[in-house]
Amino acid sequence: MPEDISTWPWSAVFVSWCLLHAGVRNAEFDFSIRHAMFIKRTIGNALAGTGVFRGRKIGDYKPKIGDLICANAGTGQIAYNQAANQNGYSSHSAIVVDVRPGVAFTVGGNEGNTVDKRRHVLSPTGFVVQRSPEAYICVIENRKRTVSRRARER
């Protein structure tokens, strides 16, 4: 850990914290300080047809509220098939909080060193439109639609 904690990338911790407080269990998601760890596992889940969280190719799955949109960070160039086998690359994920025609909105941590809402362009048919730089890797489908009692009380 760096001496100056303000330089520590905390976006994966934010996503993990949100999912944990929404009622997701350790057996369902790899809570991690690195997005690449849970991206790899969820792509494996999708390929095997198992698990609550499944990493889907951006052209094969339309994001819904509660899903995660995952992308390369910085100059990363990892594609879906590579992400299925690697977990040591720079990436970023954020939680889908709204989907409208042509756009999905996410909330993520460490976006400009704060929690922020971002927009992602969707095709007319509702799929994430690829971008460059920071190309999208996948959309993690959240098949768990229940919410913990504590989250409901907020």
Instruction: Report the pLDDT value the prediction gives residue 75, as an integer from 0 to 100.
Output: 84
Total domains present in the chain: 1
Report which DSSP code applies to 20.
Answer: H
Q: What stretch of H or E contains 80?
A: helix 80-83
Q: Which two tokens stand for residue 78?
A: 């990892």
pLDDT band of 147, cuts 50, 70, 90: very low
* pLDDT of amino acid 2: 54
Say if 74 falls within a structural domain. Answer: yes
- Evaluate whether residue 28 is within a structural domain: yes
pLDDT tens for 46-72 read 999 999 999 999 999 999 999 999 999
pTM of the model: 0.90
Domain region containing 25: 9-144
State the Cα–Cα distance between residues 122 and 63, nearest whole angstrom. Answer: 9
Q: pLDDT by residue (tens digit) across 6-23?
A: 666 899 999 999 999 999
CATH code at 53? 3.90.1720.10
